[in-house]
Homo-oligomer: A and B are copies of this chain.
Amino acid sequence: MRKLDGFSAALDREHGIQIGRWSQYDGLPGLPFGAMWCVIPPASASAEDRHPEVELAVVMSGSADLTVAGRRDTGGPGTAFLFEPEEPHVIVNPSTDEPLMVLSIYWMPEEAA
């Protein structure tokens, strides 16, 4: 067993938010996807992102307000959002005091074959 804790991960500023790529972890078993912790501070937002990978954004803590390809939705812990390739997406943390943490999992569509 290996415990991975997003709150104690090394984070870098990227896309206007704090990103902790799982490539920082040595000795993980092979994963069939890329993964990163995304921490969006209170009352802030990610830059718009868009990429060829499918992305699964799992809301772990706090509350998320997303706009994806012009469509808006919200969700808290217990929800996950799937973005299709090339869908532009922005994630907003509407809270004024609580950070939003999302686990982002992503893969190229052909890797799922």
Q: List residues of chain A with CB under 8 Å of any chain B CB.
A: 1-7, 28-33, 54, 56, 58-61, 66, 68-69, 71, 73, 75, 77-84, 87, 89, 101, 103, 105, 107, 109, 111-113
Contact = CB atoms under 8 A, between A and B. Distances in A.
A90 to B, nearest CB: 11
B29 A112 contact: yes
17 contacts: A1-B66, A1-B68, A1-B69, A1-B83, A2-B81, A3-B75, A3-B80, A7-B78, A7-B79, A28-B82, A29-B82, A29-B112, A30-B54, A31-B56, A58-B103, A60-B77, A77-B101
Main secondary structure of the interface of A (DSSP, over half): strand
A73 B111 contact: no
